[in-house]
Amino acid sequence: MLHSPGTVIGRNCFIGPRFTATNHRVPEIDPNFVPEGVIVEDDVIIGACVTVLAGVTIGKGAKIGMGAVILNDVPAGSVVVGFPAQERDDVWQPTTLGPAYSH
Ligand SMILES: CC(C)(COP(=O)(O)OP(=O)(O)OC[C@H]1O[C@@H](n2cnc3c(N)ncnc32)[C@H](O)[C@@H]1OP(=O)(O)O)[C@@H](O)C(=O)NCCC(=O)NCCS
C-alpha cells in the first residue's frame, strides 16, 4: 500500500494490493508544499489497484471496485467503479454476486 503523510485509514477496512493515496492534487515543485491527505472512513472495502486523488474522503462503508481512480468524495455506503470512479448501485450487491458469495 502506498500512502503519503496526511492519509487517514479508519477501522475495520479491507484494502487490496496496490492501493495508492496521493497527497498533491496538482503537482508542482514548491518548497512550501503542504500535503493534502486522503481520508478512508471505517468499514470501507477497497479492491486492488485503486488510486485516490489528494483531499478525497471515502465515506463509511463504501466499496470501491478494483482499478478505480477516485477523483471526488465517495458517499458513505455507496459502490463506485471505473475511471473516473462513478457510483453504480447495480454491482457488488447481494443479488449481483455469484453462488460463491451466497452463504
Ligand atoms: C465490483 C466487483 C465486486 C464485481 O461485482 P459484481 O456485482 O459481481 O459485478 P459484475 O462482474 O456482475 O459486473 C457488473 C457490471 O459492473 C462492471 N464492473 C465490475 N467490476 C468493475 C470494476 N472493477 N471496474 C469497472 N467496472 C466494473 C462490469 O463491467 C459490469 O458492467 P456492465 O453491466 O455495464 O456490463 C468486482 O469486479 C471487483 O472489482 N472486485 C474487487 C476484486 C479485488 O480487487 N479484490 C481484492 C483482493 S485480491
Low-confidence ranges of the chain (pLDDT < 50): 103
Q: Which pLDDT score is estimated for 96?
A: 67
Ligand 1 pocket test, pick from 14, 81, 96, 102 with the greatest ligand atom count within 8 Å of Cβ, gives: 81
Q: Which pLDDT score is estimated for 13?
A: 97
Tens digits of residue pLDDT in 89-99? 999 987 666 66
Q: Which pLDDT score is estimated for 101?
A: 57
Q: Which pLDDT score is estimated for 17?
A: 97
Q: Which pLDDT score is estimated for 94?
A: 74
In short, whether 96's Cβ falls inside 6 Å of ligand 1 is yes
- Which residue lies with its CA nearest to atom 28 of ligand 1? 91
Q: Which pLDDT score is estimated for 91?
A: 93
- Distances from the Cα of 100 to the Cα of 46, 65, 89, angstroms: 19, 18, 20
CATH of the domain at 91: 2.160.10.10
Spatial CB neighbours of 22, under 8 Å, sequence gap ≥ 6: 4, 38, 51, 52, 53, 54
* Residue 84 preceded by cis peptide, ω within 30: yes
Query: What share of the chain has pLDDT > 90, as a percent?
Result: 79
CA–centroid distance, 71 to ligand 1, in Å, is 19
In short, whether 16's Cβ falls inside 6 Å of ligand 1 is yes
Q: Which pLDDT score is estimated for 67?
A: 98
- Domain span holding position 66: 1-103
